Structure 1
């Protein structure tokens, strides 16, 4: 196992820093493998919430390459999806998960948010019931450049959200990030609304592993760890979760005191 070069706590949140994104991804994969093996020794199935985005790519590849997980006993969910795009759209999170995860590991089930559902509010209710049918054993996610978790942007993030899944309007910084990372050709093509699993649902997971590599995340990492715990930087809520670990590389940690 690769060792973190530094580790410390900020409030209840454990933070670990690695020399490179590859080293970070490899260790998160090994932690995930061992944890899911442990969960499946204790119970029949494991429920896992997964994120999309560039921060997850190396981790997912490393996890799948490790093997050693009985995926036929794992039920998968994902955190968010754009409103109004089909499952085969190049930027669809369903497509991302289907190609990068489901086809490669064949889980017992992969529950998808249907972004092009004809009744979006009913789709929120449907997915809420699926999420609440069993405890979430593990949530793997990243941090947006505006501090969002899933699509809980600062303007719509609520630490005591009454909803488990909701429709939100995406802010400009979030939509621009989707262009900058190559998911859409220009800002006008990025949907303005999306489905998201809310912060209380994320925080209810028994274990939370948050990956935030790359230089472009350095400023938001500094704010979420050294600023106040506030919806201004939604990811700061993880500082209240003792079951959460934030994984950084030297680039994303470069502005920390």
Structure 2
């Protein structure tokens, strides 16, 4: 394992900054591997929430290639999903995780949010029951350009949310981010609503790994770590989570 370029603590949040994304991904994958090995040894099973997006690709490549994890004892969930697109849509998070995780490691179960459901409120109820069935041992995250965690945008984030999963309207910043990252060809094609795990559900995880990379994330990372802890930057709540670590490459951490 390579050594982080810089280590710091902001309130309760540990922060590690690496020279490049490749080093970061290798180290975080190893940290996740060792943690899951320990959880499986102690409990015989584990539950993991996985994130999507460009910041997660190299991490997931490394994690699934490492070996040494008995995925047949791991139940997987995911953070969010668009409303109204099928599991075969290339921008679907189900598609992303099926191709990058499920097909490669074959976990015990992968509970997907059914984005193309005809009854979205019933889907929230169904997924809530699945989440309630066991504690979440590991939650993986990224940080959006507006500071969102999953689809908890500043406009809908609630640090005392009573729900585990909810349906939200996406804001314009998020719409543009999806186009910029190549997930959709234009703004009109981006779904207007999505399912998201809530902030309290994310923070209930026993361990949180948050990966953020690229110069385009530097300003929001600065706000996340140096601004007020508020839903104006939902990711700032991680500063109150001693079980969380934020992993940055030097570009995302350039203003810290």
TM-score, normalisation: structure 2: 0.99
Aligned to 1:205: 205
Aligned to 1:74: 74
Aligned to 1:21: 21
Moved over 3 A (4+): none
Task: Note the C-alpha offset of 1:255.
Answer: 1.2
Task: Note the C-alpha offset of 1:193.
Answer: 0.2
TM-score, normalisation: structure 1: 0.99
Structure 1 residue 231 corresponds to structure 2 residue 231: yes
Equivalent pairs, count: 256
1:250 and 1:70 mapped to 2: Cα distance? 33
Task: Note the C-alpha offset of 1:189.
Answer: 0.2
Aligned to 2:9: 9
- What secondary structure is seen at the aligned counterpart in 2 of 1:245? strand
Task: Note the C-alpha offset of 1:72.
Answer: 0.3
2:189 and 2:237 mapped to 1: Cα distance? 31
Trace 1:73-222 onto structure 2 (pairs within 5 A). 73-222=73-222
* 1:36-86 superposed Cα distances (whole Å, 9 cap, x missing partner): 000000012100000000000000001111110000000000000000101
2:231 and 2:41 mapped to 1: Cα distance? 37
1:181 and 1:14 mapped to 2: Cα distance? 28
1:65 and 1:87 mapped to 2: Cα distance? 24
2:172 and 2:244 mapped to 1: Cα distance? 28
Aligned to 1:41: 41
Structure 2 unpaired stretches of 5+: none
Task: Note the C-alpha offset of 1:129.
Answer: 0.5
Structure 1 unpaired stretches of 5+: none
CA-atom RMSD in angstroms: 0.4
2:16 and 2:127 mapped to 1: Cα distance? 33
Task: Note the C-alpha offset of 1:177.
Answer: 0.2
